[in-house]
Structure 1
Amino acid sequence: MPGNFQNLNSETTAILCQFLGAAQISEVRPFGTGHINDTYKVTSGSGNFLLQKLNRWAFASPEAVMQNIRQVGEHLANRPYPLKNMRPVAACDGSLWQQDAAGEYWRMFPFFDGTLTLGRVETEDQAFEGARAFGAFAKALGGLPPETLHATIPGFHDGPQRLAYFYEVIKMGIPGRLKMATMEIETLLKHQSLFGQIAAAGLPQRIMHHDTKIGNVLFDAKTLKAVAIVDLDTVMPGTVLSDFGDMMRTFANAAAEDEACLEKVALRMPIFRALSEGYLLEMGDTLTPLEKKWLPEGGRWLSLMQAMRFLADYLEGDVYYKTNYPEHNLVRARSQLALFESMTAQLSGIKNP
Structure 2
Amino acid sequence: MASTDAQKAARAEDALMAGAAPDVAAVAKAWLARLAHERRLSPKTREAYARDLLVFLGLLAGHIGAPPDMAALGALHPRDVRAVIAARRAEVIEPRTQMRFLAAARSFARHMEREGLGKVGALTAVKAPRIAKTLPRPVSVDDARALGNADTRAGENREPWVLARDAAVISLLYGSGLRISEALGLHRRDMPEPGRGDQIIVHGKGNKTRMVPVLPGVLALIDDYARACPYELEPDRALFRGAKGGPLSPRIVQLAVERMRGSLGLPDSATPHALRHSFATHLLARGGDLRSIQELLGHASLATTQIYAAVDSAALMAAWKSAHPRAR
TM-score, normalised with respect to structure 1? 0.23
Q: Which has the higher helix share?
A: 2
TM-score, normalised with respect to structure 2? 0.25
Q: Which has the higher strand share?
A: 1
